[in-house]
Each structure stands twice: as C-alpha cells, then as structure tokens.
Chains A and B, each alone.
Chain A
Amino acid sequence: MTSSPSKNGTGMIEFRGVNKWFGALNVLRDITLSVEPREVVVVCGPSGSGKSTLIRCINGLETIKDGDLVVDGQRLGDPATNMTRLRTEIGFVFQSFNLYPHKTALENVTLAPIHVRKIPRTEAEQAGRELLAKVGLADKVNAYPSQLSGGQQQRVAIARCLGMRPKIMLFDEPTSALDPEMISEVLDVMVAVAEEGMTMMVVTHEMGFARKVAQRMVFMDAGAIVESGTPDEFFAQPKTDRSRAFLSKILRH
C-alpha cells in the first residue's frame, strides 16, 4: 500500500525498510516512503501509531535501528553525513512550540541564522522582522514567549524555522496544544508556507488542512504505514478497516 521509493533516489526524504524499537516495542515497522521535493505529505493515525517518531527520525531526534533513511541525498547514520549541517536544512515545528523563553520573538528567529548561518546581525534582524510580519506578528518582535498566546508562539516557531531557509519543514502535531480559536491562525501560516513550494511532512489531525494542501495522505497504525494516497481518495474511499474506523472517529464532530 505504500508508495514505492523513486528508483533513482531523487526523493527529498526516502525511507527504505526502516525499523525502530523502543525496547521490545516495534515503533516503526518496515517503513518505506518517498517524499518528493515540493510535496506536502500529511501523516495521520491514532495516538501511539508512530507518526511523531517517523518525522523525528528525519532530522535525527530519533535514531533508526535498521533500514535506510536518506534526506536531501544524505544517508542518516552514515559517518560521512554531517548531522548538524543537515539539520540546518530541516525546519522542525514542535507540538509544544519550544520557543526559547529567555529570548524575544525576534531573537528566537535570528539565533540560528546568526550563529549557524553566520549572517550579520543587522541583516538577520531585518530578515527576522520580515518573517514575523509574514506570520502576522510584526507588532510582537520584542515580546517574550510568555507574553504571547499559544497560537502566536507557534507562529513565531514557524518563523524561526523559516529563518534558516530550510529545504524541508516537519510539523509534529503543530496545533494539538492550541485552544480551538487559535488553530486556524497557525494553519493559515502553514498553508502559505506550503503554497510557496516547501517540502513538508505534517503530522496532524486537521483534515481541512490536509484536503487543502496535501498531495498525499499517509495513514499509520501500530508503527506501520497502512495506507497512503491522495486526500480525495483517502477521505472518499478509505481502503482499510483501520483507516475507516479512524476517519469515522475524527470526522464525526
């Protein structure tokens, strides 16, 4: 049921037979998946199905046990792969935002560009202000995270990733920790990022977002990819009992 990896390995993210265990628990089972440049893939599934673990492997927050994972042409776990450098090409948005509480919104955005990309401070700050304006927070550049709402914090977190001009953006349940009225402001920003042609993998249950921008839905259960296809196919005719059961639960409301 899974999409086959591209033959010539041009995928931006390529899982080939990836397995991972937490102790005796097989959290990723024989994952094979290829994400093309500029593609937006939404990953869904019940909690504990391994969705977060899947995308956390891509930037090395989790390590894989066996199989191959190739990101932007570099094989993870290969001694020749400079993980720190590869991470600069991958933005990661966390469920709990993880903004630096001791830095202002602008400092959160400029920290990595200044220290990792070695961009001059004034230039980085200029770019940072523009990014914060783009996510609708031009008036919050000097605010500390504790002074911002959840939705605002998550938008700063997205701007922080964009500041590095990444090739890939990963979202780990970006709206799950938000009050309902703040979800759409974050999704709007994500839609804008997707429409600019970013390669994205998004773990989310926001099916409206999936319908709008995803080229592909991936449904996971018990560590395996059970089903994948276009959102239209997936929502209209889920092929497995498990995906039908899952959809009926999340779409009921």
Chain B
Amino acid sequence: MIWQQLQSLAGSYPLALRGLGMTVVLSLISLVLGTLLGFGLGILRTGGNRLISVAIGAWVDLIRGTPFLVQIFLIFFILPEFCIELDAFTAGIIALTNLAACFICEIVAAGIRSVPTGQVEAALASGLSRWQRMRQVVLPQAMRIVLPPLVGQYVLLIKDSSVVSAIGLTDLTRVGWLVVQRVPNGLLVFFLVGVGYFIVCYPLIMLARRLERRMGAAHGEVQL
C-alpha cells in the first residue's frame, strides 16, 4: 500500500513543484518589497518627526499584535466590501509585504538607534545632509546590528507565507492539502511539505548564523 502511495505521490510532483514555486515567488516578492518598505519605515521611525514615528509605531504594534491569518482575511474578504477587488495572489503579496515591513522596520530602527550619537554629530559637523548622514555614516554601521536578525526574520516570513493557502493560493502547504485527499497518508505528505520549506529556509539559517559570527568577531571594520 505504501508503494502505491509513493507512486501516486511521485505522480503529483509537477503539482508539488508548482506549489514550491508559488511559495518561493510569493516569499521573494514580498521579502524584497517588505525590506525596501521596512527600511524606509525604520528610517522614518527614528527620523525625529514625532508624529510620523508614533504613527508608524502604532501600525507596527497593531500588525505584530494580530494573527497573520486574520490580516489576510481582512485584506482578502473585507476590502472587496469597499469595492477594492483583489485576486488571491495580490492579496497575499500585500499581506506578506506589510507583515515583513513591520518586523523589518523594528529591526532597522533598533540598528539605527545603536549607532553612537557621536557618529551622527561628527557627520553633522562636517556638513553632510540628512540623507548623506544616513547613507554614508549611520546605515553602514547599523547594518552590522541589522543583518543577522534580518536574515532570521526572512526565515520566519517564508514560513508564514504558508498561511496564504487559506485564501486559495496554491503554495506548498495547499499542495499538501490537495495531495492528501488523493493519498490518504497525512504524515508522509506533510513530512514532504516540511522538507520543501526546510530546503528553502536552511540556507538562510546558515547565512544568519555566519553573519552573526562575523559581526560578533569584527569591530567596526566590516565592509558591506
């Protein structure tokens, strides 16, 4: 019987590849967008305008304090009530990007705050503009603090992308649900789904660990 199941599973490998592809594409797009947005928000969060900082802080807390599944449902089912039609893919991208941006915002803000005031004063005193101070002096130093948790966050977000199966996107998790209806061996099927995620995440876990070691060892002279 297990032999038949394996054969049947082997037959559904194109579907599995599609699911894996969907997970990777979804994660990649939302991580890239989320990183850009997260850095922007993190810079604004520490930028000195109190109103903007508080507003971003409130939004980040809201997103971090509610389940991702609920956020996806809100975007996918509630927005159409306000005549904003979204396909599942776009809704998934929006929800994941927003989630990524919020977590990355806090990581970036913490990194920026870790740069000693004297560095900003030195840059200020030599006449660098606000953006030049950020780009040339603050961010390169903040990156040492930011990079390890950032890559770690990527791993969490890739795993969180499995939640998009709830709105019908055929990602790796949903492929598991589909296949298990034909091959009634949940343990085997979802073991393989887990392996799929692990294959995507493990290189990032290794990278995060390497970065952590490198940043810990070096003092200041890390070149990005």
**Residues of chain A whose beta carbon lies under 8 Å from any beta carbon of chain B:** 59-61, 84-85, 87-88, 90-92, 94, 96, 98-102, 111-112, 115-116, 144-147, 160-161, 164
Contact = CB atoms under 8 A, between A and B. Distances in A.
B118 interface: yes
Contacts of B132: 115-116
A59 to B, nearest CB: 6
Given A101-B221, A115-B132, A61 B141 contact: no
Nearest to B219: A146
B10 interface: no
Most chain B C-beta atoms within 10 Å of own C-beta, residue among A102, A112, A146 = A102
Given A61-B125, A87-B124, 13 more contacts: A87-B125, A87-B127, A91-B126, A92-B122, A92-B125, A94-B118, A98-B119, A100-B137, A100-B141, A102-B223, A111-B128, A111-B136, A115-B128
Contact of B126 (A60, A111, A146, A147): A111
A96 B220 contact: no
Interface of B: 116, 118-119, 121-129, 132, 136-137, 140-141, 219-224
A113 to B, nearest CB: 9
B126 A87 contact: yes
Contacts of A84: 127-129
22 contacts: A61-B121, A61-B125, A84-B127, A87-B126, A92-B121, A92-B122, A98-B116, A98-B118, A98-B122, A99-B122, A100-B122, A100-B136, A100-B137, A101-B141, A101-B219, A101-B221, A102-B223, A115-B136, A144-B220, A144-B221, A146-B219, A160-B126
Given A112-B128, A115-B128, A98 B220 contact: no
B221 A102 contact: yes
A96 B136 CA distance: 20
A146 B223 CA distance: 13
B68 to A, nearest CB: 36
Nearest to B126: A112
Contacts of A88: 126-127
A-B pairs, 10 with minimum CB distance: A101-B220, A88-B127, A98-B122, A92-B125, A112-B126, A98-B118, A144-B221, A87-B127, A116-B127, A102-B140
Contacts of B221: 101-102, 144, 146-147
Contacts of B116: 98
Contact of A164 (B121, B126, B129, B224): B126
Contacts of B141: 100-102
A98 B176 CA distance: 56
A11 B129 CA distance: 27
A116 B125 CA distance: 12
Nearest to A99: B122
Contacts of B123: 100
Contact of A100 (B119, B127, B223, B224): B119
A221 to B, nearest CB: 26
B9 to A, nearest CB: 51
Interface centre among B127, B129, B140 (most CB of A within 10 A): B127
A100 B140 CA distance: 10
A87 B222 CA distance: 29
Given A111-B136, A116-B132, A59 B125 contact: yes
Nearest to B220: A101
Contacts of B223: 102
A87 B120 CA distance: 13
A10 B185 CA distance: 90
B78 to A, nearest CB: 46
A94 B122 CA distance: 8
A90 B127 CA distance: 9
Contacts of B137: 100, 111
Nearest to A90: B125
Q: Which of B141, B219, B221, B222: most chain A Cβ within 10 A?
A: B221
